[in-house]
Amino acid sequence: MRQFLKFMFASMLGSLLIGLVLIMLFFGFLAALGSAFSLEGKATSVPENSVLRIALDQAVVDRGREDGLNLDFGPFRGTAKMGLNDILENIEKAKHDDRIKGIFLDLGVVDAGFTTVKEVRDKLVDFKSESGKPVVAFADVYTQKTYFLASVADQVHLVPQGDLDMRGLQSEMMFFTGLFEKLGIDIQFIRGSDNKFKSFGEAFTRKDMSPANKLQVSTLLDGIWSNYIADVGEQRSMDAAQLDAIAEGMLVRKAEDAVTQGLVDSLIYRDQVLANLKGTMGLDTDKDIKFVELSDYTKAYVPKVKEEKDAGKVTSTKRAKIAVVYAQGDIVDGEGEDGQVGGTTLSAAIRKARKDSTVKAIVLRVNSPGGSGLASDVIWREVALAKAVKPVVVSMGDVAASGGYYISCAADKIYAEPTTITGSIGVFGMIPNMKGFFNDKLGLTFDGVQTHKYAGMMTVTRPLTAEEKGIIQGFIDRFYATFTERVAQGRNLPVAQVDSIGQGRVWTGADAKRIGLVDEMGGLEAATAEAARMAGLEKGEFRKVGYPEQKDFFHELLKSLNVQARSWVATEAFGTDVELLHRFEQVRQARTMTGVQARMPFDIEVY
């Protein structure tokens, strides 16, 4: 009886505590939601002599939420995102805002790709040169990506016991072939006949990288690193050879080394940095610094910027528009989910922008490794139709490869950054043969009947016959021929030349420009400016409008709850080993693929 009472009271207490936590979360949610809605549309007050603080402590995506509702508390912590478009616009705004005396880069781990970081970095260079206002960077630890951003600053500070990572770039693949052998699963990977660089299936069919894959990944890393040390060297007044030697010998092994090698200006604590900021930015030394957060500054009203806009030729609220169509994530058939490029959804968005007479040009922002070949072709068709009636300019983000390049190639012009990963003109198909797994591991066997010879061709319970493989190879080769023809037509190149630089090979943006796959180096702002120029619009004569239409807040809230649940399960299974989780996500993606795939040859992580 005593044990029963003990367990009963423990259960009651546990239920009570869970109830209290849920009530607290509920009221916390209502408070945060009420605050968010009350702030929507209300301008942020920016005091005189303020400093814009940029932390980039949330995942950076191409497009932020236009309603400004971005939960980051309680069970939603870690799901909030920052839009690159908002970051760039805020830095531009701060350039003209006399109340902002400078920018403080308060950095930790930056959750963004190299190309995204470069776009922010380039905007900070512009901010410094145009406004003459200082930029100061500070961190406890600089990763190579974080330091790439910080190196733009007039002053770079590190805590005395901190660390700065400078040892070159690495990309590592995980191979599942041995696992599948133990399970009795044979992955039947079929790629274009000449697509030797289309190496997505290597993770499932080999135990190491093929020579062709090693060549393209090495070339890719060398290109990104060359750009890295060139940009860092320019701002830090160091030559590339010097930075290369620092990485080769790993000459920064303690905080003092970062100063000795010229990468950091001083080793000081946060209170000392804040004291120095006052002097650097001409602030009152007896008062606390008035920081303005990036998220709040989005809603700030800047009189001078407003005056400049009003001075333009077109001041009506119905003035000309530049449509910025965002394509970020895997390309999938149908509408797709958050973080995916749905063929139906994106096609409808481009079509809507094409038919809107107030939209004078379209910028297609592509940040995708590709995916469904069918969805890619459907989107390509809409890009081609839009190009026939108004300028279409592509802005490539971190990656615009395979299907991501397919949907880009019909545009009038393509912009990319030197570090963009693009190309990968090639296709593949993949069908697992799980007969050994079912028969030998589970003791399951299969039998059945079919009306026609090839009715059961796509089954996973037996291997493909040689004839069936030939049929699928034909599908793949025909789609590759279509892919190369689309690129040849869009880029005004001979098909043979496209094939020679295709074959599934990935390129950096800089190399892609050299071989004719890209027109200009530049980010989203450069592409938008070119689209406006092609439409005959001057600055102040147009406004940017984002497509597709963003889903309502409560729809996104339900998505966030789903993401949180999956995140909890993943943490329980893998703990903090996020990299391992990412690798097994490849298996999940491969399992859900259907039809011909125009996808990156590998999931590349550069760190």
* CA distance linking residue 575 with residue 141, whole number of Å: 23
From 154, 39, 52, select the one nearest 99 (Cα to Cα): 52
pLDDT value at residue 334: 93
- Tokens 């606390």 correspond to 288
**Most confidently modeled of 278-292, 409-423, 430-444?**
409-423
Domains by residue range for the chain, with CATH: 46-171+223-303 (3.90.226.10), 320-431+452-599 (3.90.226.10)
Residue 558, both tokens: 């339900």
> Dihedrals φ, ψ of 371, to 5°?
155, -125
CB atoms closer than 10 angstroms to residue 83: 21
- Give the Å distances, CA to CA, from 151 to 119, 154, 228: 14, 8, 10
Model pLDDT, residue 68: 59
% pLDDT > 70, the chain: 79
Any idea which of 16-20, 142-146, 353-357, 397-401 has the lowest mean pLDDT? 16-20
Q: Three-class SS of residue 63?
A: coil
Instruction: Identify whether the C-beta of residue 188 lies closer than 8 Å to the C-beta of residue 472.
Output: no
Residue 463: pLDDT band (50, 70, 90) is very high
Q: CB of 527 within 8 A of CB of 444?
A: no
Q: For residue 196, what pLDDT is reported?
A: 74
pLDDT reported for residue 322? 97
For residue 434, give the DSSP letter: -
Q: What residues does 368 pair with on adjacent strands?
A: 400
- Written as one letter, the residue type at 210 is S
- Distance, in Å, from the CA atom of 311 to the CA atom of 320, rounded to the nearest integer, reads 15
Active centre residues (catalytic): 198, 402
- Average pLDDT, rounded, for the chain: 84
Question: Which pLDDT score, from 0 to 100, does residue 18 have?
Answer: 46
Neighbours of 37 (CB within 10 A): 13
Which pLDDT score is estimated for 39? 45
The pLDDT assigned to 575 comes to 52
Say yes or no to pLDDT of 206 above 50.
Answer: yes
Residue type, 570: A
Report the alpha-carbon distance of residue 105 to residue 100 in Å, rounded. 14
* Omega cis (within 30) before 548: yes
Is the pLDDT at 562 greater than 60? The verdict is: no
Question: Could you give the percent of the chain with pLDDT greater than 90?
Answer: 62
The yes-or-no verdict on residue 13 having pLDDT over 50 is: no
Q: Estimate the crossing angle of helix 114-131 against helix 211-236, to 10 degrees.
A: 20
Residues sharing a CB contact under 8 Å with residue 429, sequence separation 6 or more, in sequence order: 189, 190, 191, 472, 475, 476, 595, 596, 597
Give residue 295's pLDDT: 86
3-class secondary-structure state, position 363: strand
Cα-Cα-Cα-Cα dihedral sign, residues 415, 419, 424, 428:
negative
Distance CA 201, CA 190 (A): 8
CA distance 272 to 563: 40
155-164 and 81-83 beta bridge pairing: unpaired
Query: Which residue, among 493, 477, 473, 474, has the nearest Cα to 485 in the 3D structure?
Result: 493
Band the pLDDT of 301: cuts 50, 70, 90.
confident
Distance of CA 554 to the CA centre of its chain: 24
pTM above 0.85, yes or no: no
d(CA 220, CA 210): 15
Using DSSP, state whether 79 is helix, strand or coil: coil
Higher pLDDT, 279 or 319: 279
pLDDT at 583: 47
